[in-house]
Chain A
Amino acid sequence: MKKLVFLFSALFLFSCSSEEGDKPSGGEGGNGNMGVNRTAFLNAVVDVHAIPDYERFAMQLQVLKTDVKSFSDTPTQETLNKARATWLKTYEVYQSVAAYNFGLAEETAYRSYMNGYPTDIEEIKGNIDNESFTVESLGNSDLINSQGLPAIDYIINGLDDSDAIIIDKFNEDAKYGKHLGFLVDRMISFTDRILNDWKGDYKKEFTSNTSETKSGSFNLFVDRYINFYEKIIRTGKIGRPAGELSKPKRPQQIEALFSPENSRDLAIVAIKDAERIYLGNSEDEASLSAILLERDRVDLDLKIKSEFKAAIESVESLNANLNIQAETDADTMLATRAVLHALVVTMKTDLITELGIELLTFDSDGD
Chain B
Amino acid sequence: MKKLSLLLASTLMLGFVACDDDDNDTSGNNKSNPVEEQGADIAYETPATYTFERDGQSTVKFSGQTLRLNQGAEILKDLTDVESGTLEAIKTKYEEGQDFSNAELVSSSHIRQKVAESISYFKDELDEVVSIDRDPVVEFFDDLIVEQAALFLDGSYADKDAVPTAKAGEAGILGKRLVNKEAIEYNQYWNKGLIGAFTLDQVINDYLTLATRNKADKRADNDGGVITQKNKDKGVVYTEIEHWWDEAYGYVFGVDRDADKFLYKYIQRVENQGFDGLEASIETAFRKGRAAITAGNYVDAREQADFLRAELSKVIAIRAVYYLQKGKQSIAAGAFDDGTAPHDLSEGIGFVYSLQFTHNPKTSAPYYTKGKVQEFIDELESGTGFWKYKNESERAKLDEMSEEIAKEFDFTVAEAAPSSN
Cα–Cα, bound, A40→B258 (Å): 6
Residues on B with C-beta less than 8 A from A4 are 4, 7
Question: Contact between B19 and A299 (Cβ–Cβ < 8 Å)?
Answer: no
Cα–Cα, bound, A20→B330 (Å): 43
Residues on B with C-beta less than 8 A from A302 are 333-335, 338, 340
Residues on A with C-beta less than 8 A from B326 are 296
Within the complex, which residue of A12, A34, A296, A305 is in contact with B338, where a contact is CB–CB below 8 Å? A305
Q: Does B307 make an interface contact (CB < 8 A)?
A: no
Question: Contact between B418 and A296 (Cβ–Cβ < 8 Å)?
Answer: yes
Question: Contact between A24 and B279 (Cβ–Cβ < 8 Å)?
Answer: yes
Question: Contact between A297 and B421 (Cβ–Cβ < 8 Å)?
Answer: yes
Question: Contact between B333 and A299 (Cβ–Cβ < 8 Å)?
Answer: yes
Q: Does B157 make an interface contact (CB < 8 A)?
A: no
Among B11, B47, B77, B256, chain A packs the most CB atoms within 10 A around the CB of B11
Interface mask (B142-182 → A, CB under 8 Å = 1, otherwise 0):
00000000000000000000000000000000011000000
Which residues of A in the span 6-27 have a Cβ within 8 Å of any Cβ on B?
Answer: 8-9, 11-12, 15-16, 18-27
Residue of A nearest to B4 (CB): A1
Question: Contact between B261 and A29 (Cβ–Cβ < 8 Å)?
Answer: no
Q: How many residues on the B side are at the interface (Cβ–Cβ under 8 A)?
A: 49
Q: Does B329 make an interface contact (CB < 8 A)?
A: yes
CB proximity of A154 to chain B, nearest CB, Å: 31
Which residues of A in the span 282-311 have a Cβ within 8 Å of any Cβ on B?
Answer: 282-284, 293, 296-299, 301-302, 305
Question: Contact between B18 and A22 (Cβ–Cβ < 8 Å)?
Answer: yes
Residues on B with C-beta less than 8 A from A18 are 19, 21
CB proximity of A208 to chain B, nearest CB, Å: 13
CB proximity of B408 to chain A, nearest CB, Å: 25
Residues on A with C-beta less than 8 A from B261 are 284
Residues on B with C-beta less than 8 A from A75 are none
Cα–Cα, bound, A1→B2 (Å): 12
Residues on B with C-beta less than 8 A from A21 are 48
Question: Contact between B258 and A12 (Cβ–Cβ < 8 Å)?
Answer: no
Residue of B nearest to A44 (CB): B258
Which residues of A in the span 38-73 have a Cβ within 8 Å of any Cβ on B?
Answer: 39-40, 43
Residues on B with C-beta less than 8 A from A298 are 329-330, 333, 335, 340, 421
Q: Does B52 make an interface contact (CB < 8 A)?
A: no
Q: Does B229 make an interface contact (CB < 8 A)?
A: no
Question: Contact between A37 and B80 (Cβ–Cβ < 8 Å)?
Answer: no
19 sample A-B contacts, Cβ–Cβ < 8 Å, listed by A number: A4-B7, A8-B11, A16-B18, A19-B46, A20-B284, A22-B18, A22-B48, A24-B279, A27-B279, A35-B272, A37-B258, A282-B80, A283-B76, A283-B187, A296-B419, A299-B333, A301-B335, A302-B338, A305-B338
Binding site for A on B (CB under 8 A): 3-4, 7-8, 11-12, 14-15, 18-19, 21, 45-50, 76-77, 79-80, 175-176, 187, 253, 256-258, 261, 268, 272-273, 276, 279-280, 283-284, 326, 329-330, 333-335, 338, 340, 418-421
Binding site for B on A (CB under 8 A): 1, 4-5, 8-9, 11-12, 15-16, 18-27, 29-31, 34-35, 37, 39-40, 43, 279-280, 282-284, 293, 296-299, 301-302, 305
Question: What 3 pairs between A and B have smallest CB-CB spacing?
Answer: A24-B280, A12-B15, A22-B18
